[in-house]
Structure 1
Amino acid sequence: MWQTSLNQPNLSEEEEKKALARAPSLRFRFIVAGVLVIGVIAGLAINLIFDYSQKLADLSYDRLLRSALLQMDENVGLIRNEVSIDIPWSAFATLAQAEEDRVFYKVESLEQGFITGYQDLNSFPPRFPVLDEIQFYNQAYSGEMVRFAWVQRNIIDAETAQTIRIILGQTRLSREAMAASITRKAVEVVVLIALVAITLIIIGSHLVLRPLHRIGRALEDRAVGDLTPIDINTPKETHHLKVAINHFMARLQTNLAQLENYTADAAHQLRTPLASLKALAENARDIGNSDHYSPEKQRQALENIVKQCDTLNQTVTLLLNQAVVSHRLQTHRLALMDLLVPVTESCREQALVALRQGVHLSLECDLKESLILGDRFSIQQMMQNLIENAVRYSGQDSAAPKEVIVQVMAFDLFYRIKVIDHGDGIPDSEKERVFERFYRGRYDVAGSGVGLSMVRDIVNHHSARVKILNTVPKGTTFQVDFAKHRFDGDDQ
């Protein structure tokens, strides 16, 4: 039902609302996924910003620390074979730009020992010392984390040579403040970008799902029973959904057409035997009430009623089988099966019917197995229609052999079934028309005109081929070819 009915019971509406509430939201999933992705990216960005701000602050203040260390190093010399240093005021003035930080230093000689500074400042770089190479590192001292610059070099004059070591440290308060300021501003920008991105995702989710809403509205606005294809422009991502819906509606339209045809078939097939049965019953009643009552005439009338009931029963059975076959062709997949099974069962079921009409039915087959992809019930109905049709037309000519032969043969790529009779045959001009619904070549022979139409539908569903040949010297041969099932490796 494509349109919500206004007269729909409240219970159904409540159940529909509950089902809608329980249904997962595609938009919610899209937004949550987007928020999670943006959150992960923002977290990584903030972490990178924090590391970068730390490195940027160290880089900036390390330059000041290096400048002060070099100024101290330039004022180190040897006087009377002893190390002497005159620390310039400008070295500490450079570091004084960080007003909140404290400065620690120590100058010592490996040969002479402590020279000046903080004597308890025993700090060593994490890497092996290299002469004249300045190393920067963080290390705790005096209860605080301090950034140290460390250098070691040789002093040589004409009389002696000594190795001096200069250690200059500065607390990290200004560095941390600078890093925090950079991080805070960068985080504000990242958060702002994340919020804008989430807003765009929310808006974008509505725009992305709009084609689905358009398809839904297009279906809801349709009149009941309108199964024409959806003709609206949709993006590529929803194009396949639109095509799938159109294909589904086309199949549904086909099913409805088949249902209408089946209803028409039932009305067409039942109207005539019911009218005939009514006429025969009225005739039997009139014979009983007539002055010229004859038990023989009444018995004959009752026999006619019984025959007409048998005909009606056959017609109802055929219509029911046709409905079952039509349903199976629409809903059941083809499965691996032995073709000989439905052929043998059909011959066994029709043998007694043929015998009652004086027709000999035989099966000629040397195969032990014939595997195909098919539907067993449908193929059995096809064989019963072909055999029943052959038996019906075999007894019309008393001079012709009253026999029907069913043959099953194997070829390289297919199995061939032949149903051979020796009746009057089918003219070439009518061989294609006999598969049309309700077409009957002869009306003096009982029949419904839908059996061969059902045979054609079953053959087409199995991608098989059916052909009508002339039996020599007289009669008709129906030939059906089914493709063999090929297992993996059969062509190797």
Structure 2
Amino acid sequence: MAETPAPPVRTLSLKSRVALAVGAVLLLGGVVVLAVALAYGRQAAREAYDRLLVGAASDIAASMSVRDGAVVVDMPVSAFQMLALAPEDRIRYRVIGPDGATLTGSDAAPLPPEREGVGPVFYDGDLGAEPGRYVAVTRRFAERGFSGPVRVLLGQTTRARAALARDIAQGALAVLAAAGVVIGLFAWLATRSALRPLQRLGGALAERDPTDLTPLALPMPSEIAPMLGALNGFMGRLDRQLAASRNLIGDAAHQLRTPVAAIRAQAQLAQDECDPEARARILGRIHERSVGLSRLLDRMLDRALIIHRTDTAPRAALDLRDVALEVFEEVDAAAIAPGARVRLDLPPGPLVVRGDALSLTEAGKNLLANALAHGRAPIRLGVAREGGRARLFVRDAGPGPSEAVLSGLGARFTSGAPGGSGLGLAIAREVAESHGGALLLGRSGDGFEAALALPRAGAA
């Protein structure tokens, strides 16, 4: 019974994520703007009402005069008219003579902090049970009957200041709220428009036949194009794996049926044969066909493994000389061609490529086995540098196949010699192409050469 696929894990939609992100930005921005608006409102209110205070205090100082050696303060109406612009605030004033005595006003008005310089001095202090803002203005007299500084202290509660600061902040907050609504609306519309390519991609996938693994060709924004490329790459790898599985099944059904049927027929003959010598000959043929079938199975499984590793095995930097040594050590030349010897030809310096060592070794083993089975001694296995490429080659002294046969070598089940499976060169070709290279077959000097031409690591 097939397992029911687990439902996809659902999270917040992209629209919700964008909405939350925009809302968070607007909220944070609102808090910052509100704090800035409050600070600006307080500063603006303070400067506006400080001007009123210093204007009123200056009018009081200007109204003072000296009569009979004493300072007379004639409180001007204009000073109170200025302060009347804040009708809810209370005021307190105090005029202090050169000796520090209060000439008029309330003794409860606090003194300003001592500092040097000229001009009005602003400071904070209590005005009864409420906080207040004070200004101190100094007028200096230098007359015959009176000389010295006279200070005017004028204070006012801060109700009007706070109300003005709130009005400024509320106005800024109202503008921010309206702007936030407009920005949120445009962000929502922009998000819907930006997500339409994803909806098109999902629709294209949903409408596809389950067996259709061809690449999707859809116009996509630059941000989504990498995802489409990765999806096409995944489908390409899956298509190659499925094709390899189909080929393996088809090849097995096509290539194994005849030898298996022949072995069965020979076994039936051996079972019915009474002559010991004839039975021995039949058993010999059964053994030969079994060995051939075993080699064919090995080649088919090797090819399936190589195709699988094409998309799964990581590529690493490796010295092609090590691959040649591995091939030289693993191939039993005496078992394939009794009396044959293989000469190893390696350069003194490393020849680095990026690839899968196992796949390259299998390809090299197939090239060497072909040369031993179908070539002519002497046989050379070596590595060479050729421009920006590295070559793993096997060279023998034979003439090689004809031009007509040579043009078809490298395809599955196309052999250049009787008894060959045609899979060895196919494996080598697929390994070379999966590494960005090629399988080169041709005459070289007085012999025939098969080589894997691969791009060198770091070569231009």
TM-score above 0.5, yes or no: yes
Q: Give the 3-state SS of the residue equivalent to 1:228 in structure 2.
A: coil
For the pair 1:455 / 2:455, whether they are aligned, the reply is no
Alignment of 1:205-284 (within 5 A): 205-284=191-270
Alpha-carbon distance in 1 for matches of 2:357, 2:116: 87
Alpha-carbon distance in 1 for matches of 2:350, 2:113: 88
Alignment of 1:102-251 (within 5 A): 102-111=90-99, 113-125=101-113, 127-130=115-118, 133-157=119-143, 160-198=146-184, 200-202=186-188, 204-251=190-237
Change in 2 beyond 3 A, CA 1:454/1:210: same
Q: How far off its partner does 1:165 sit?
A: 0.8
**255, 259, 281: which one pairs with 1:300?**
281
Alpha-carbon distance in 1 for matches of 2:196, 2:445: 68
Alpha-carbon distance in 1 for matches of 2:191, 2:77: 65
Q: How far off its partner does 1:52 sit?
A: 1.9
Paired amino acid for 1:316: L
**311, 323, 338: which one pairs with 1:358?**
338
Alpha-carbon distance in 2 for matches of 1:152, 1:257: 100
Instruction: Find the counterpart in structure 2 of residue 346 from structure 1.
Output: 327
Alpha-carbon distance in 2 for matches of 1:486, 1:472: 30
For the pair 1:406 / 2:394, whether they are aligned, the reply is no
Q: How far off its partner does 1:367 sit?
A: 5.9
Alpha-carbon distance in 2 for matches of 1:183, 1:165: 36
For the pair 1:431 / 2:406, whether they are aligned, the reply is yes
Alpha-carbon distance in 1 for matches of 2:177, 2:282: 97
Paired amino acid for 2:211: G
Alpha-carbon distance in 1 for matches of 2:305, 2:421: 17
1:217-249 CA-partner distances (Å, limit 9, x unpaired): 221222211223334443333233223323332
1:385-434 CA-partner distances (Å, limit 9, x unpaired): 1122122224xxxxxxx635233255586655442334452224443321
Change in 2 beyond 3 A, CA 1:182/1:282: same
Q: How far off its partner does 1:167 sit?
A: 1.0
For the pair 1:319 / 2:300, whether they are aligned, the reply is yes
Deviates further, 327-336 or 245-254: 245-254
Change in 2 beyond 3 A, CA 1:20/1:179: same
- Asked whether the 8 Å contact 1:269–1:448 carries over to 2, the reply is no
Alpha-carbon distance in 1 for matches of 2:458, 2:216: 40
Deviates further, 176-185 or 24-33: 24-33
Q: Give the 3-state SS of the residue equivalent to 2:263 in structure 1.
A: helix
- Asked whether the 8 Å contact 1:146–1:169 carries over to 2, the reply is yes
- Asked whether the 8 Å contact 1:423–1:476 carries over to 2, the reply is yes
Q: How far off its partner does 1:200 sit?
A: 4.7
Deviates further, 238-247 or 147-156: 238-247
Instruction: Find the counterpart in structure 1 of residue 72 from structure 2.
Output: 84
Change in 2 beyond 3 A, CA 1:83/1:235: same
- Asked whether the 8 Å contact 1:370–1:415 carries over to 2, the reply is no
Paired amino acid for 1:176: A
Alpha-carbon distance in 1 for matches of 2:212, 2:292: 39
CA RMSD of aligned residues (A): 3.2
- Asked whether the 8 Å contact 1:125–1:136 carries over to 2, the reply is no
- Asked whether the 8 Å contact 2:324–2:383 carries over to 1, the reply is no
For the pair 1:374 / 2:362, whether they are aligned, the reply is no
Change in 2 beyond 3 A, CA 1:97/1:477: closer
Instruction: Find the counterpart in structure 2 of residue 4 from structure 1.
Output: none
Q: How far off its partner does 1:148 sit?
A: 1.4
1:10-36 CA-partner distances (Å, limit 9, x unpaired): x53xx31xx514x46544443333222
Q: Give the 3-state SS of the residue equivalent to 1:236 in structure 2.
A: coil
Q: Structure 1: give runs of 5+ residues left out of the alignment.
A: 1-6, 395-401
Q: Give the 3-state SS of the residue equivalent to 1:20 in structure 2.
A: coil
Alpha-carbon distance in 2 for matches of 1:214, 1:486: 40
1:317-376 CA-partner distances (Å, limit 9, x unpaired): 110011111111221122233434443443444335x44643413233466884533322
Change in 2 beyond 3 A, CA 1:456/1:87: same
Alignment of 1:8-157 (within 5 A): 11-12=4-5, 15-16=6-7, 19-21=8-10, 23=11, 25-111=13-99, 113-125=101-113, 127-130=115-118, 133-157=119-143
Q: Give the 3-state SS of the residue equivalent to 2:86 in structure 1.
A: coil
Number of residues of Structure 1 aligned to a counterpart in Structure 2: 458
Change in 2 beyond 3 A, CA 1:193/1:479: closer
1:94-146 CA-partner distances (Å, limit 9, x unpaired): 3234332211111122158321111232320575341xx22333222333211
Q: How far off its partner does 1:204 sit?
A: 4.3
- Asked whether the 8 Å contact 2:336–2:372 carries over to 1, the reply is no
Determine what percentage of the aligned residue pairs are the same residue: 28
Q: Give the 3-state SS of the residue equivalent to 2:382 in structure 1.
A: strand
Change in 2 beyond 3 A, CA 1:225/1:411: closer
Alpha-carbon distance in 2 for matches of 1:277, 1:391: 27
- Asked whether the 8 Å contact 1:440–1:449 carries over to 2, the reply is yes
- Asked whether the 8 Å contact 2:406–2:416 carries over to 1, the reply is no
Q: How far off its partner does 1:68 sit?
A: 2.1
Q: How far off its partner does 1:89 sit?
A: 3.0
**317, 322, 337: which one pairs with 2:318?**
337
Paired amino acid for 2:140: N
Change in 2 beyond 3 A, CA 1:472/1:371: closer
Alpha-carbon distance in 1 for matches of 2:78, 2:331: 121
Alpha-carbon distance in 2 for matches of 1:454, 1:232: 35
Change in 2 beyond 3 A, CA 1:90/1:256: same
